[in-house]
Amino acid sequence: MHFTRMSDYADHDVPVIVKGSGPYVYDENGKRYLDGLSGLFVSQVGHGRTELAEAAAKQAAELAYFPLWSYAHPNAIELAERLAALAPGDLNRVFFTTGGSEAVESAWKLARSYFKLIGQPSRYKVISRDIAYHGATMGALSITGLADIKPMFEPLVPGSVRVPNTNFYRAPLFADSLEDFGKWSADEIERAILREGPDTVAAVFLEPVQNAGGCFPPPPGYFQRVRQICDKYGVLLVSDEVICAFGRLGHYFGSERYGYQPDVITFAKGLTSGYVPLGGMLVSDRLMEPFLEGDTTFLHGVTFAGHPVSSAVALANLDIFEKEDLLGNVKANEAHFRAALEGLRDLPIVGDVRGDGYFYGIELVKDKTTRETFNDEECERLLHGFLSGALYDAGLICRADDRGDPVVQLAPPLICGPAELDEIASILRSVLGEAGSHL
């Protein structure tokens, strides 16, 4: 199993999910669960959408497979055009992959080869944030800032550098000013560029809202300052939107929500709502230019990228976004969601509630006043020993996680309205209310 402690299942069964309908899924015993994590930040339009199944079947019957190596097919062309039209600014070129890690790999390889082609071959390094997850393949894992998941695979790809993330709750020096904290965090990127040598740095990889660690939104002005720094030193800004694109934050792209212009956007997950795998990157016209000349080739590709069936499903998925105004639904209900989760702050274990759109983290603490967190043993008892199982038993799928400080994460399907958002908060209230007695 992926990223799963398999001994956890020595004395009980692996949950087997057999069916989905709207925001709910069902296990093999017929028990219903509210899918408060959209599977894994994926199922934007919800489960059981026959339109998407039909789009896949139709395309498989017409042309199941053809590569994007020297060929094209109509769905990939149409999807690329549609994504380019939706993407901010001059992000007009699309390179498809099959998922998020490959998208991140592709972005790093593109950055390295771009700089070689324009006569700056010494630029190969990347900067990313502490605790940020950018994928599991060797390049993407090297960019990832989760120190604990790397040692088993070292040595990793050289040239990946960490800077602080934007966890304001754990930034006591800036207790009074989110803006000052944002400026300091962005300036840490400049300091890292200067330390490494500006002519060695190719790109900065940042998520609009950092997932791992428990949903850190950017402080006001953070991305504007990062953009200035990237421009000053000629470094590319890659917005890793594998989670934050396709409505998660109420916009097609997370960068739109915070008003910054990336040079590259990486995406996957919600583009197809998970009915089939697909990912990719959107890059600016400027980055594409050197690849259009002479005998130059972007020497990179994977067999199933932009698969005809995946592209057909992505188009049908975007049709649902438009028909049902899913971005409008998130915008209309995000304040309700925030209020429902903020309402849990009276529980002794709830330290912080943070996020945006339909993407929230609740940080759990031992002591609310001092913000003291749990030690490793307590975390183990709380998360593995109690919370993960209890939330599931109570009918809520979400993520209880301790990569960083312990958090519970929520990312419901974008079709959810007040009733489902309240159901999430009500299950959390009963389970988190009990958690203290299981330490």
Q: Which of 243, 427, 255 is nearest to 340 (CA)?
A: 427
Of positions 20, 23, 36, 99, contacts ligand PLP by CB under 6 A? 99
Q: To the nearest whole angstrom, how small is the minimum distance from the Cβ of residue 146 to ligand PLP? A: 11
**DSSP string of 54-66, one letter each residue:** HHHHHHHHH----
Q: To the nearest whole angstrom, how small is the minimum distance from the Cβ of residue 142 to ligand PLP? A: 13
Q: Does 363 interact with ligand PLP (rule: CB under 6 A)?
A: no
Q: Does 361 interact with ligand PLP (rule: CB under 6 A)?
A: no
Residue number, 112 or 403, with CB nearest to ligand PLP: 403
Of positions 35, 105, 207, 352, contacts ligand PLP by CB under 6 A? 207
Q: To the nearest whole angstrom, how small is the minimum distance from the Cβ of residue 211 to ligand PLP? A: 5
Task: Give the integer Cα–Cα distance in Å for 57 and 53.
Answer: 6
* Region from 8-16, 94-102, 119-127, 224-232 binding ligand PLP, contact rule CB under 6 A: 94-102
Extract long-range pairs of 190-194: CB within 8 Å, 24+ residues apart: 190/229, 190/232, 190/233, 191/163, 192/127, 192/161, 192/162, 192/163, 193/127, 193/229, 193/233, 193/235
Residue number, 207 or 352, with CB nearest to ligand PLP: 207
Task: Give the integer Cα–Cα distance in Å for 413 and 121.
Answer: 43
From residue 228 to residue 267, the character string flagging contacts with ligand PLP as x (rule: CB under 6 A) and all else as - is: ------------x-xx------------------------
Q: To the nearest whole angstrom, how small is the minimum distance from the Cβ of residue 319 to ligand PLP? A: 23
Q: To the nearest whole angstrom, how small is the minimum distance from the Cβ of residue 355 to ligand PLP? A: 14
Of positions 91, 104, 178, 349, contacts ligand PLP by CB under 6 A? 104
Q: Does 142 interact with ligand PLP (rule: CB under 6 A)?
A: no
Q: Which tokens in the block code for residue 23?
A: 């925001």
Residue number, 139 or 351, with CB nearest to ligand PLP: 139
Q: Which tokens in the block code for residue 126?
A: 């990347």
Q: Does 416 interact with ligand PLP (rule: CB under 6 A)?
A: no
Q: Does 135 interact with ligand PLP (rule: CB under 6 A)?
A: yes
**What is the identity of the amino acid at 78?**
E
Q: Does 134 interact with ligand PLP (rule: CB under 6 A)?
A: yes
Residue 180 CB contacts under 8 Å (≥ 6 apart), including other chains: 174
Q: Does 133 interact with ligand PLP (rule: CB under 6 A)?
A: yes
How many Å is the Cα radius of gyration of the chain? 22
Q: Which of 255, 207, 240, 209 is nearest to 103 (CA)?
A: 240
H-run or E-run covering 424: helix 418-435
Three-state SS for 126?
A: strand
Residue number, 189 or 268, with CB nearest to ligand PLP: 268
Task: Give the integer Cα–Cα distance in Å for 245 and 58.
Answer: 27
Residue number, 111 or 382, with CB nearest to ligand PLP: 111
Q: Which of 102, 48, 88 is nearest to 413 (CA)?
A: 48
* Region from 100-108, 339-347, 397-405, 430-438 binding ligand PLP, contact rule CB under 6 A: 100-108
- Nearest residue to ligand PLP, using CB? 100
**What is the identity of the amino acid at 390?**
A
CA–centroid distance for 340 within its chain? 23
Q: Which of 73, 71, 90 is nearest to 289 (CA)?
A: 90
Task: Give the integer Cα–Cα distance in Å for 208 and 245.
Answer: 9
Q: Does 101 interact with ligand PLP (rule: CB under 6 A)?
A: yes
Of positions 44, 113, 211, 409, contacts ligand PLP by CB under 6 A? 211
Q: Provide, for the chain, the percentages of residues in helix, strand and coil under a 3-state DSSP scheme, each rounded to the nearest 5.
A: 45, 20, 40
* Region from 53-61, 131-139, 230-238, 369-377 binding ligand PLP, contact rule CB under 6 A: 131-139
Q: To the nearest whole angstrom, how small is the minimum distance from the Cβ of residue 302 to ligand PLP? A: 12
Angle, vertex CA 289, rays to CA 283 and CA 293, nearest 5: 140
Q: Does 280 interact with ligand PLP (rule: CB under 6 A)?
A: no
Q: To the nearest whole angstrom, how small is the minimum distance from the Cβ of residue 279 to ligand PLP? A: 6
Q: To the nearest whole angstrom, how small is the minimum distance from the Cβ of residue 410 to ligand PLP? A: 15
Q: What is the 3-state secondary structure (H, E, C) of 355-402?
A: EECCEEEEEECCECCCCECCCHHHHHHHHHHHHHHHHHHCCEECEEEC
Q: To the nearest whole angstrom, how small is the minimum distance from the Cβ of residue 265 to ligand PLP? A: 11
H-run or E-run covering 280: strand 279-284
In the complex, the residues that contact ligand PLP under the rule CB under 6 A are 99-101, 104, 133-135, 207, 211, 240, 242-243, 268
